Amino acid sequence: MNITLEKAEKVIQAAIEKSTEMDVKMNIAVVDSGANLVAFAKMDGAWLGSTDIAMKKAKTARYFDMPTGEIGKLAQPGQSLFNIEHSNGGLISFPGGLPIENEDGHIIGAIGVSGSSVENDHAVAEAGLKAL
C-alpha cells in the first residue's frame, strides 16, 4: 500500500496553500510507504538547505511511523533513542514530518516540511494531511 502520485500532489497543494496563508516559503516532500520520494515542491524563495531537511523529515516519519517531533523527545540525552539521528544516513528529530495513513489506518507514506520555524513546519505538514 503506497500513496499515489495523485494523492501526494493533493497533499503538497494543501501544504503550499497553508504556507502561502502563513506567508512562509517551504520545501515539501512526500514519500511512499518504502520511504521513496513520490512528490516534492520547493516554493519560490524557500531555503535551499531545507530541501534535504524536508526529505529527511518525511523519511524519518515513515521509518518510525510517528511524527518527527515525537522522535525528537525520545532522542534527547538520557532517553531511549538518544543519537538516533545519526542512523539511516541521517534523520531529523524535530517537528515537521508526519506519517500519512489511508482510510483503513495503514501507513502509506509521510510528509516532510522545512523552511520556517518547527512550529510552522508542523502546521504546514498537518494542513497537507488534511487534504486526504
Separation between Cα atoms, residue 18 and residue 72, nearest integer Å: 24
Residue 101: strand pairing partners: 107
Read off the C-alpha cell for 120: 510552522
The pLDDT of residue 90:
93
Please write the tens of the pLDDT for every residue from 78-117.
999 999 999 999 999 999 999 999 999 999 999 999 999 9
pLDDT at 17: 98
Question: Residue 68's pLDDT is what?
Answer: 98
CB atoms within 10 A of CB 41: 19
**pLDDT for residue 1 is more than 90:** no
Q: Are 46 and 64 in contact (CB under 8 A)?
A: no
User: What is 5-130's CATH superfamily?
Assistant: Haem-degrading domain (3.30.450.150)
Q: How far is CA 28 from CA 78, 79, 83, 112, 116, in A?
A: 32, 29, 25, 6, 12
Residue 127 predicted with pLDDT over 90: yes
**The pLDDT value given to residue 130:** 97
pTM of structure: 0.96
pLDDT at position 64 over 90: yes
pLDDT of residue 45: 98
Q: How far is CA 33 from CA 2, 8, 37, 78, in A?
A: 5, 12, 10, 30
Alpha helix ranges (H) inside 2-130? 5-22, 50-64, 68-74, 118-130
pLDDT at 63: 98
pLDDT score recorded for residue 122: 98
**CA dist list (Å): 122 to 1, 16, 89, 97:** 25, 13, 23, 7
Mean pLDDT (the chain) is: 97
For residue 71, what pLDDT is reported? Answer: 96
